[in-house]
A and B are shown apart, each in its own frame.
Chain A
Amino acid sequence: MTNRPLITIKGTRDGLTLYMDDNCSFDVLMEELEKILSREQTDEDDPLITVNIQLGYRLLHKENEDRLREIIRRKNKLVVHRIESEVIEKKEALKWKDESDIKCYTQIVRSGQVLNITGDLLLVGDVNPGGKVMATGNIFVLGSLRGIAHAGVNDNKKAVIAASYMEPSQLRIADLISRPPDQEADGVYMECGYVDAKRNTIIMDRLSILGKIRPDLNGLERRILNG
């Protein structure tokens, strides 16, 4: 065995960070962890300590992750905050990419048709009354939005809906729904809808506001920054 310890513990303001060696076998690592934890003494009066775990280049299966959490949980005052790894599964990576990609469609979504996609939707064409577009991310319509648009389907309230011509029958973001006022209003050009965090409702505003309220829309690498 090398001289380097398998597990390094660092205390920070936010709690403990455990750096785990990524070359040894998982069983050895767990034995080591139990050894270290049994050395630590905690009193009943101590406050809860959050633990961040850095796995390095080790990929944990669900079973192993549960085992890791179990060992730490056995120690009274420790709470696992998060487990971070430098690597992810290929499947997960592809899913991640799929969800953060912008999908471009050139078609007219007509009455009775539904366009449901993962990720951001860029629709070059109209959404006609009775038609529906759904996306897990944002929705951008280069055309007239006259039907229903549902952005952030998986409860993503950060999602926005933007259209060159906005005259929707309904806008939905995550689980919020809004519709235009009953006194028949004409549509508006270059508008967007987003969720106002304070009032928890969908707000309509001109397109130029997007840069201020959702600065992370700039650039394609934004999702990676957001994690």
Chain B
Amino acid sequence: MGEAIVITSGKGGVGKTTTTANLGTSLALLDKKVCLIDTDIGLRNLDVIMGLENRIIYDIIDVIEKRCKLNQALIKDKRFECLYLLPAAQTSDKSALTPDGMIEIINELKPEYDYILIDCPAGIEQGYKNAVAGADKAIVVTTPEKSSVRDADRIIGLLEQENIDPPHLVINRIRNHMMKNGDMLEVDEIVQILSIDLLGIVADDDDVIKASNHGEPVAFQPNTRASIAYRNIAKRILGESVPLLSLDEKPTFLDKMKNFFAIQKRK
């Protein structure tokens, strides 16, 4: 029996869809059977980031309105045998998706898959309620900005009223130099305010945007900071304990030289 995890944030643009795509990819890399569900009706993005846009024939609304079977709407990933996507509808009426419909779909998927990742739309209205309806667990994504932490706090408050496990936190788009200068909220500060368990931190990396634009989640790349971070989060979802990635950038040759001479001078 699989586990349904909703990925939500409240605020838009913090990286819910990117996180969903990369966690799905990372879990698939670890040989888990994964299904991604996009619930952002009218503004679907997950298929674009996964590079599966041109394979969509049926979508989630077609499944709910019984125009097709669930298996017909599922799109197999081009890289993995064990990764599937259920795309959102781009044109249909938003109100067609209901919490009951979501629960039905998720219950049908659960026996087949190890993990079902639900990409939640921004906001706290109907779209959010649909996405959360069938979930067993929740991951809240936030960035080190006050506004996004505030919205994450609101979402956590709403999630606490649902019948699901306490949510876990992913802090996305961390810029280390700004955090060090005190221009951004620090990881500890965010965790202290939200007081939920931290699942992982992801650096703000150009590679993430580059990879998303190529329709290939960054998690595929062997050793960018972001891809390692996402794969670590996937391992933590599986229950492994992996230490948090250091945010410090690797010193360049020039830095090493500078350090070397600084030590020399002090002597």
Contact = CB atoms under 8 A, between A and B. Distances in A.
Contacts of A33: none
A129 B192 CA distance: 12
B59 interface: no
Contacts of B160: 110
B136 to A, nearest CB: 21
Nearest to A146: B193
A130 B147 CA distance: 11
Interface residues of B, number: 13
The size bracket of the interface on A is: 10 to 19
B129 interface: no
Contact of A111 (B151, B192, B195): B151
A190 B128 CA distance: 39
Interface in A137-157: 144, 146
A146 B160 CA distance: 20
Interface string A116-136: 000000000010111100000
B153 interface: yes
Nearest to B194: A128
Chain A binding site: helix, strand, loop or mixed by DSSP?
A: loop
Given A110-B156, A111-B157, A113-B157, A130 B195 contact: no
B195 A126 contact: yes
Interface string B150-175: 11011011101000000000000000
B193 A130 contact: no
Nearest to B158: A112
A49 B157 CA distance: 59
Nearest to A165: B192
A130 B154 CA distance: 8
A108 interface: yes
Contacts of A129: 146, 150, 153, 193
The 7 closest A-B pairs by CB, nearest first: A110-B157, A111-B153, A111-B154, A112-B154, A110-B153, A128-B153, A113-B157
22 contacts: A110-B153, A110-B154, A110-B160, A111-B150, A111-B151, A111-B153, A112-B154, A112-B157, A112-B158, A113-B157, A126-B193, A126-B195, A128-B193, A128-B194, A129-B153, A129-B193, A130-B150, A130-B153, A130-B154, A131-B153, A144-B192, A146-B193
